[in-house]
Structure 1
């Protein structure tokens, strides 16, 4: 480490942070020791306390998100720290192997779909800047609440809330980063600004961010291959949210967000040699600028009450372009509307029922092209109309019973497509999906609150991956694939101790994985799968100045390799994540000075003989990372300092070993070495 860079790093620290606290907002979960009754979520389409939800829900508060973003602003890395069942961060532009409990998940921004299930680009977790997010709500396990793609669960980014009680407030964030092993070319910065306020019936939020990352170096100081990497990347984000209260019972809100993240590297990637040497960056240049040229999200939402009925109506538009280095690009846009209503009814003996009902409309258009704009897939369109009904019974005050159904009508249309010299004619088909859910929770005692649930999710899968091989739509079965998810858990608060333990078991008739046929060309393999696991979230406030937390995620699975009901094979590493253990220690040294250390251990998984090594079947070696964070608060200013990969671990991210020698080892890269982050937060 070059000590001369420390005063330079200190000198570069000026003003700061978009993550100021909103004291006017109701108390929400901020760490693992918070009380369940204080947590308000909206992921199930109505606002409710988490102790009324009969399933496993993860809530990442704005305070915790701000802390994690100071350590590493990459959203997949943040989610890895807090969600037991999510796949480890790929430490790149993509989340190709991103799974939640071994299944594909659906990413939303304020309820607007960001995922592109018709041709999975693996960019949905990185479609907005962390500084524009108020909190994150995660439904773990299959969910039908938002439709196609939620087979593993829902990840909903809730954008910044307005400050209604003051006409103007400002939060500024400036962060500097530098690799401490070899600092050459690694300096990066992150500047974000938030203005928010309200006057009379009007309120607003304006957020802007610009950032540039330096070269990424591994623990030995060598440049990591920039292939789909995060180095030398410029990122911009702009959020505008305007709200107007016509009265205490009627409100309209308009939200627009623009995200841009483009890599322009002075390096090119070499080929890696699995088990021998990683792909590294060598001096060179390319005209291909990989990343996300744009993600545009627009949402107009009306909320109102009519007698006892609450209405929540939203129309939305989302348009994303993802560029994949030297290969191709995906264009996907979504247009739709969500009409959601909720009506309570009193029942005899102080019981009650709430009916949540409505209809969703979605038009999903997706197409993949090469860099010369030649079609890689046919033009794909999916129109969906989905009515749903959900009931929530409160019985004898402490029994919460939920049951509901969603019916999805899908019209799928593809255009004519030429593969080589062969013309594959377009086709139109209609598919239907009916999915159910039910759950029960008992919440009388804060110390022990058991719950059980059954839920179904569905996905039509990565159809574009098959169609791009010149296969006709009529030659494949694209009917929605259901996932059945069974869950049993218990959580509670015992004085200073908080816990949640959940077990789950999910089945699907068409689990998906891939096999490399020739370098860079993959076949889709679909077999019946059973996936099961256990998760735990623990927190202990040992003293007013000391709190401890931890997570555990374990999963495994079997698949029916002969499709004869025997389930004789292991599910591969692209679907099953190794065991994850996380822990954190948070110390309040003084009322103004906080200090934290966190650890994440990703285990190993080696269950396939070398003779069958391919995508997802290479051995995963595992790794352990430590991060440090400290902050000192003055009246308006907070100084922050964090170190990512505190002990400079030498490791391969799980995705590197899942891909192994595929695509000539271009994905076989090392993880990032020790990086220091120094910043300041100013709240006015």
Structure 2
């Protein structure tokens, strides 16, 4: 341990870590312990305050994103810390079991879809680097506002924005990381640069990042199996955003982002033995480089005002390639356009009405191939046209009523496909979905703001997982699966105390569960499911120099195993996350010196007898993590030091135990031991 600390201190002369925050910078948004005053755009496709939304929304500010990135810059880990209802981080390349309130979520970058729901690759949370993100907006619970895939909610990464009246600013980030248990081969670095500014009607953001991670070692110093891991991975990211205001009422903006993350390990993974020994890394090599060879995202956005109507028009393109070590790869591209208008309507008295309406177009092409480019699934194409209407009533100034409807028309087409020696002919079918939402919030009193809502989301599911077995499109029911989400909550701000408590209940007639038949081959079952839970976010600013916060998430559910309305079966651990409790204590010793400690406890869940153990039914043991972060600012330079897994907890990530002995135990790996990050950021 001591040698690791010495190496880190010596490295301060040549490198340091990540993001700092200028305390004089205007704040657009607050963190999750004080989220009532934030401005969001994801929930209703218009800019509005969180206290105008009759549902649960989590906002993670840039300041908080930067801080968490110093501890662990893997986005799923950051989301686990700040979003109550999201699944625990898999601590690897994937988020295969990633759920929000037990359902699949839709990931966006500035409103552009990153998820690949036609063949879920589990890479959508890692499609952009943290240094390119301004803040994160999370809509908890089913939402259809952005189309297919939002059955559990929406996670929208909002990219960096230039500040007003600042023609030029520069932020340089340099970071080192090192495992303190056994430092050998574990050194990693991360360097990124951001330029941004606004002059006249023109504004710009330029971001670039390069990083290389070292070998991952567990709490006992042993090399963790690199199978789908993040060790020995090179990552690059480049963002360009250019905007021009033609006048106060008309603006055009172009954004492009490129992300690349490839693992090239000197180790190969062994087989794990559930409950006995984990899969570890042994010296060896493979020609297959797992990761994300590319994720390309581009959009062109126009915003304008015509009389009382505000218009927002976006055309976008996303192209992603995900490679799965020793298996295959997924290619997916999305072309689309969104036309969104907002018009106020005058009502008598202190009442207001705003109509949000428009139409979305999407072309989604997805295919899975092996490493020799032979088809694993047929080519899948989905074209979608979706008009929608959303209304927002403000009644007697303090009652906010929202209601809306969206109609989705889906044309689904698959190509011919050969499975073994059998030809499966292609087919074309049309499906549609009509989904509703309604919600009510009372926000007169800052100390208590109750809300209630009903919302529907939908997904046509992981179609490729079924079609790759040689099943014809005509042999399955691809009608969109609706999720009905009921929510009741209250939040408020009582002097130095802020809180949000939410209860939810969601149902689906075709929930999805898996069972491994042979190593790596899974059978899919769809049964009616009911999921319910409670979430809480608490924050207390005890003094000007001390604040504390906490999150809590509990969920459970039942499924109808006989499809007779009895709901007699327990839901597996790939869907139901164990109870999660998080807490943080933040000290501001001086204007320059910050210090904080955070804790995350993931509970255990053991509800299935040994004779039925399979994917999702192995027992979850749970774990407790502590992290530490401190920063010190000297004029334009901020020094940071953080330790992830402060007390070197010895545990298996939840995903390792969800997979258990399936696929010959290759996923059964231990988590990373104590890792320290030392860094510097220069703001000019």
What's 1:184 paired with? 184
Report the secondary structure of 1:84's partner residue: coil
Matched, 1:512 2:512: yes
* Structure 1 contact 33–541 (Cα < 8 Å) conserved: no
Once residues 9 and 529 of structure 1 are traced to their aligned partners in structure 2, the CA distance between those partners, rounded to angstroms, is 53
* Structure 2 contact 32–537 (Cα < 8 Å) conserved: no
Once residues 504 and 83 of structure 1 are traced to their aligned partners in structure 2, the CA distance between those partners, rounded to angstroms, is 15
Once residues 107 and 362 of structure 2 are traced to their aligned partners in structure 1, the CA distance between those partners, rounded to angstroms, is 15
5 Å matches for 1:183-262?
A: 183-262=183-262
Q: Give the superposition deviation at 1:17.
A: 4.4
* Structure 2 contact 8–678 (Cα < 8 Å) conserved: no
Q: Give the superposition deviation at 1:41.
A: 4.3
Mean CA deviation greater in 227-236 or 17-26: 17-26
Distance change in 2, residues 1:38/1:322 (3 Å): closer
Q: Give the superposition deviation at 1:346.
A: 1.4
User: CA offsets per residue over residues 573-603 of structure 1, 9 Å max, x none?
Assistant: 0000000000000000111100000000000
Report the secondary structure of 1:471's partner residue: coil
What's 1:498 paired with? 498
Q: Give the superposition deviation at 1:163.
A: 2.6
User: CA offsets per residue over residues 316-355 of structure 1, 9 Å max, x none?
Assistant: 0000000000000000000000000000111111201000
Once residues 565 and 355 of structure 1 are traced to their aligned partners in structure 2, the CA distance between those partners, rounded to angstroms, is 39
* Structure 1 contact 18–194 (Cα < 8 Å) conserved: no
What's 2:158 paired with? 158
Q: Give the superposition deviation at 1:457.
A: 0.2
* Structure 2 contact 451–489 (Cα < 8 Å) conserved: yes
What's 1:655 paired with? 655
Once residues 16 and 627 of structure 1 are traced to their aligned partners in structure 2, the CA distance between those partners, rounded to angstroms, is 16
Q: Give the superposition deviation at 1:138.
A: 0.4
* Structure 1 contact 2–183 (Cα < 8 Å) conserved: no
Matched, 1:390 2:390: yes
What's 2:351 paired with? 351
* Structure 2 contact 174–192 (Cα < 8 Å) conserved: yes
5 Å matches for 1:440-459?
A: 440-459=440-459
User: CA offsets per residue over residues 350-390 of structure 1, 9 Å max, x none?
Assistant: 20100000000000000000000000000000000000000
* Structure 1 contact 549–584 (Cα < 8 Å) conserved: yes
5 Å matches for 1:87-126?
A: 87-126=87-126
Q: Give the superposition deviation at 1:27.
A: 3.5
Distance change in 2, residues 1:208/1:340 (3 Å): same
* Structure 1 contact 185–214 (Cα < 8 Å) conserved: yes
Report the secondary structure of 2:37's partner residue: helix
Q: Give the superposition deviation at 1:16.
A: 6.3
User: CA offsets per residue over residues 276-327 of structure 1, 9 Å max, x none?
Assistant: 0000000000000000000000010000100110001000000000000000
Q: Give the superposition deviation at 1:200.
A: 1.0
Report the secondary structure of 1:80's partner residue: helix
Q: Give the superposition deviation at 1:42.
A: 4.0
What's 1:285 paired with? 285
Once residues 633 and 203 of structure 1 are traced to their aligned partners in structure 2, the CA distance between those partners, rounded to angstroms, is 28
Once residues 407 and 98 of structure 1 are traced to their aligned partners in structure 2, the CA distance between those partners, rounded to angstroms, is 27
* Structure 2 contact 321–330 (Cα < 8 Å) conserved: yes
Where structure 2 has 5 or more consecutive residues not aligned to the other structure, the ranges are none
What's 1:149 paired with? 149
Q: Give the superposition deviation at 1:199.
A: 1.2
Q: Give the superposition deviation at 1:40.
A: 4.3
Q: Give the superposition deviation at 1:198.
A: 1.4
Mean CA deviation greater in 376-385 or 517-526: 517-526
What's 1:6 paired with? 6
5 Å matches for 1:15-30?
A: 17=18, 20-21=21-22, 25=26, 27-30=28-31
What's 2:467 paired with? 467
Report the secondary structure of 2:65's partner residue: helix
Once residues 166 and 583 of structure 1 are traced to their aligned partners in structure 2, the CA distance between those partners, rounded to angstroms, is 36
5 Å matches for 1:519-534?
A: 519-534=519-534
Q: Give the superposition deviation at 1:38.
A: 4.7
Once residues 127 and 470 of structure 1 are traced to their aligned partners in structure 2, the CA distance between those partners, rounded to angstroms, is 30
What's 1:478 paired with? 478
Q: TM-score, normalised by structure 2?
A: 0.99
Once residues 297 and 40 of structure 1 are traced to their aligned partners in structure 2, the CA distance between those partners, rounded to angstroms, is 21
* Structure 1 contact 264–289 (Cα < 8 Å) conserved: yes
What's 2:431 paired with? 431
Once residues 469 and 593 of structure 2 are traced to their aligned partners in structure 1, the CA distance between those partners, rounded to angstroms, is 58
Distance change in 2, residues 1:101/1:463 (3 Å): same
Matched, 1:625 2:590: no
What's 2:551 paired with? 551
Q: Give the superposition deviation at 1:37.
A: 3.3
* Structure 2 contact 535–552 (Cα < 8 Å) conserved: yes
* Structure 1 contact 600–626 (Cα < 8 Å) conserved: yes
* Structure 1 contact 531–556 (Cα < 8 Å) conserved: yes
Q: Give the superposition deviation at 1:7.
A: 4.3
Once residues 8 and 206 of structure 1 are traced to their aligned partners in structure 2, the CA distance between those partners, rounded to angstroms, is 30
User: CA offsets per residue over residues 400-427 of structure 1, 9 Å max, x none?
Assistant: 0000000000000000000000000000
What's 1:605 paired with? 605
User: CA offsets per residue over residues 155-206 of structure 1, 9 Å max, x none?
Assistant: 0000000133122110011110000000000000010100000111111000
5 Å matches for 1:222-371?
A: 222-371=222-371
Report the secondary structure of 2:81's partner residue: helix
Once residues 388 and 477 of structure 2 are traced to their aligned partners in structure 1, the CA distance between those partners, rounded to angstroms, is 25
Report the secondary structure of 1:275's partner residue: coil
5 Å matches for 1:43-82?
A: 43-82=43-82
Once residues 67 and 612 of structure 1 are traced to their aligned partners in structure 2, the CA distance between those partners, rounded to angstroms, is 42
User: CA offsets per residue over residues 526-562 of structure 1, 9 Å max, x none?
Assistant: 1100000000000000000000000000000000001
Q: Tell me the matched-pair count.
A: 683
Q: Give the superposition deviation at 1:21.
A: 4.6
Q: TM-score, normalised by structure 1?
A: 0.99
What's 2:681 paired with? 681
Once residues 235 and 44 of structure 2 are traced to their aligned partners in structure 1, the CA distance between those partners, rounded to angstroms, is 31
5 Å matches for 1:380-419?
A: 380-419=380-419
Q: Give the superposition deviation at 1:513.
A: 1.2
Q: Give the superposition deviation at 1:652.
A: 0.2
Report the secondary structure of 2:464's partner residue: helix
Once residues 522 and 486 of structure 2 are traced to their aligned partners in structure 1, the CA distance between those partners, rounded to angstroms, is 32
* Structure 1 contact 19–62 (Cα < 8 Å) conserved: no
Distance change in 2, residues 1:410/1:330 (3 Å): same
Q: Give the superposition deviation at 1:55.
A: 0.1
